[in-house]
A and B are shown apart, each in its own frame.
Chain A
Amino acid sequence: MTDLTLGRATADRDRLLRLLQEYGVYLGVVVLLLLNTVFTPHFLSAENFRTQAVQVAPVLIVALGMALAIGSEGVDLSVGSVMALSTSLLSLYLGYGAWIAVLAAVAGGIVVGVANGALIAFVGVQPIVATLALMVAGRGLALVLLPQLKDVRNPGMAELGSGDVLGVPYLVLIAVALALLVGFVVRRTTFGRQLLALGDSRPAARLAGLPVRRVLIVVYVCSGVLAAIAGVLATARLTASDPTSLGTLMELSAITAVVVGGTPLSGGRVRIGGTVAGAVLIQLLTTTLIKHDLPPSWTQIAQAVVIVLAVYAARERGKR
């Protein structure tokens, strides 16, 4: 009798835990929205939502690339430095026109991505070490190209940073479009399937004849390009290039968004919707605490609690 009830209790607990793993992050976003609606003055205004969305856009874009890297059982620590490199290249080439400058910035992201991917796929360096090397190198290169803060005065960039369509800022539109694109790639393309397969079991993927190396390189190129785009957008919003501080600790924010969003670090699964919600959750959390005049240290503690909760919820997933 006791056994039976106990059995049912654990089954219920398992189900609850699974639901929490799947939808916990969305629940968190909803709870924060409701709390803020009730307790925060002027929360329900279009202007506030715009600010929040614009702030979260760069983190979100970087997190999309990070989700791919983590899904392949890797990680990309160089994203913050890629943003810095991107902003340096952007100001350097702005004289040739906005489009050329943006292309140069994205090319920087591709180069870093290829370097990461080649180190991981061909040399066999662990992702955390390879991307750590590029994280240091990328920031250094960015500072060589542009040693200090420089104002960006370009009508095109200004429009990109503060313009909108029907009240929705360009930044937000681009982030949403990229999220949809990455989601589509993961779900519907050969590359997406192969990425998940090699994240789930590298030896099995290799024996099944998958182009493991090519997929790995593409993963890190994607991550580099997305980080470079985030760098361009952040520059446009700030109307300044600051390679010393742009993107610092971005890799941690991105990993947080991905992990909180329910993508397991063990690979084999990528949750784009969850990643978007994860980035939003962290943003809302920060805002909530700031709006109630709590010191920044509280924000960090709150983030830590959310991460621990997310990891706790994901814990059982490892032992399928």
Chain B
Amino acid sequence: MLSVTGVSKTFPGVRALSSVDFTARTGEVHALIGENGAGKSTLIKVLTGVYRPDEGQVTYDGSPVRFATPLEAQHAGISTIYQEVNLVPLMTVARNLLLGREPRNRLGLIDFRRMHRTADEALRGLGIRVDVRRPLRELGVGAQQMVALARAVSVDARVVVMDEPTSSLEPREVRTLFEVIRTLRERGIAVIYVSHRLDELYEICDTVTVLRDGKVVHTGRIADLDRLRLVSLMLGREIGVVRDEGLTKFTGSHDTAVEPVLQAEELTVRHLLDGVSVAVRPGEVVGLGGLLGSGRTETAKAIAGALRTDSGRVVVAGTTVRTGSTPAAIRAGISLLPEDRKAEGVLPGLSVRENIALAALPGLSRFGLVDEARIDRIVDTFMTRLRIKAAGPHQKVGELSGGNQQKVLLARWLAMHPKVLLLDEPTRGIDVGAKAEVQKLIDELADDGLGVLLISSDTEELIEGSDRVVVLKDGAVVAELTGDAVTEDRLMRAIATAPSASTAAGGPDD
């Protein structure tokens, strides 16, 4: 139905896709999976006409095509449903469904009766029952997604692309969504399904294509691929090569009798986290493992007070910290290096000096007046200690390389003398040399007695860097690897085989 052959796409500095072949067939649900940066979204954008490939051919319905705009692709019958619903919240369900194609009466005005009937029929056909006269925003996110889906199908779509459609749905809504997808399949529509939830993939998909580093590493029937193999393909790690114990460098050698400096207990956030508990001892690096969307970032944010929790508590060095408040967490000695360095970390328009001093500022001031000399000393110390490469302390942080930006952020937190460091993807998007440096720094910090919680999609980094690994899946802890069990093999097994705790929609094939 819709296929690409030998497609390549290069962005400045990155080869996002290299000679990718991909085919979506009619009446088939095709899973497209891969970790962050594997090229999934680029491929989808090529398929839906947002990007044009540098090389290769897109074939639709047997003939080669070149979509100039997403609109052209839509008119040809390729619809995309994004994570965020892109409909008009204030209009009624029926109007949204038929937006731009409203039935007219003889006077050229909208024929509301006919519109409501058509809309109702379209939704019923998919087994969805809602009042089409209500404004869309009164519906739940799940129902809104269904309307988006119904709209996609009602414009005579022949290919439907779904980008993580279940990420904000309740289990019950997921069931409805799956029924709709089955209906689509029976109607002979090709569905491309992007998700990180393995249970869902095995339940609803027929075929699977795994992308890694812009290349297709596997494509075939999903039933022929066991979970462990799937995970190892995604992460790019071989299974079965059991490491010698001597090879794991950080075998829980740190004193296990010491009281944990950080204890997070039963953290729960609706849709995101389900009773996650993690403990970190001083001098210990605890890894948070799991696939994208498993709740790693959310756990870190909940501990740092940046994400409001429904229940659960955080204890630092014996004292309970008020959750949901960043300043309280920082005062208690928790520092978070956020995943999105550019948007949530650095202040790109301010200087290296201002960025480093930012959090510690109240401590570096007297009566609200900034003590410039003390700031200069601290900035100097950290720029030397962390080997920050900048033209000088007054250079704008936005002009630095990713690695140096990350070091500036580390310096900002180290100036606060934290007890616990939460590092969310500390080496993502920074070059190899700087990566090794940052990893070494993390080791040194742990040796100095800090408790470190490390999140990384780079399995090797996670395994090599951590003394213990807590494995998350669908927002719940499914395993904890300690001592000799801290191996990539065990990590992948834990991700692949652990039963999913939270999604009741989870596979009946378990």
Contact = CB atoms under 8 A, between A and B. Distances in A.
Interface in B355-395: 357-359, 361-362, 365, 368-370, 372
Nearest to A203: B344
Nearest to B344: A203
Interface string A170-210: 00000000000000000011110110110011011111111
A208 B358 CA distance: 7
B358 A197 contact: yes
Contacts of B346: 201, 204
Interface residues of B, number: 32
A268 interface: yes
Contacts of B347: 197, 200-201, 204-205, 268
30 contacts: A188-B370, A189-B369, A190-B362, A190-B369, A190-B370, A196-B350, A197-B347, A197-B354, A197-B358, A200-B348, A200-B350, A201-B343, A201-B346, A204-B346, A206-B306, A207-B326, A207-B345, A208-B326, A208-B412, A209-B326, A209-B327, A209-B329, A209-B331, A209-B359, A210-B359, A211-B327, A268-B349, A268-B350, A320-B348, A320-B398
B336 interface: yes
Contacts of A208: 326, 330, 358-359, 412
A190 B368 contact: yes
Given A190-B368, A201-B348, A207 B396 contact: no
Interface of A: 188-191, 193-194, 196-197, 200-201, 203-211, 268-269, 320
A194 B336 CA distance: 19
B235 to A, nearest CB: 28
A206 B359 CA distance: 10
B344 A193 contact: no
A152 B413 CA distance: 57
Contact of B365 (A189, A211, A269): A189
B326 A320 contact: no
Contacts of A211: 327
A25 B327 CA distance: 40
Nearest to A193: B361
Interface of B: 304, 306, 326-327, 329-331, 336, 338, 343-350, 354, 357-359, 361-362, 365, 368-370, 372, 396, 398-399, 412
A206 B326 contact: yes
A208 B337 CA distance: 9
Contacts of B329: 209
Contact of A207 (B336, B348, B368, B398): B336
Q: Most chain-A CB neighbours within 10 Å: which of B349, B354, B399?
A: B349
A203 to B, nearest CB: 5
A269 B354 CA distance: 13
Nearest to B354: A193
B368 A204 contact: no
B350 A190 contact: no
Contact of B349 (A188, A190, A203, A269): A269
Contacts of A203: 343-344
A210 B362 CA distance: 9
Given A193-B361, A209-B359, A200 B349 contact: yes
Contacts of B398: 320
A188 B348 CA distance: 20
Given A189-B369, A190-B365, A204 B345 contact: yes
Nearest to B396: A320
Nearest to A194: B361
A187 to B, nearest CB: 9
A79 to B, nearest CB: 25
The 3 tightest CB contacts between A and B, nearest first, are A209-B330, A200-B347, A268-B349
Contacts of A269: 349
B340 to A, nearest CB: 8
B350 A197 contact: yes
Contacts of B354: 193, 196-197
B390 to A, nearest CB: 15
Nearest to A184: B369
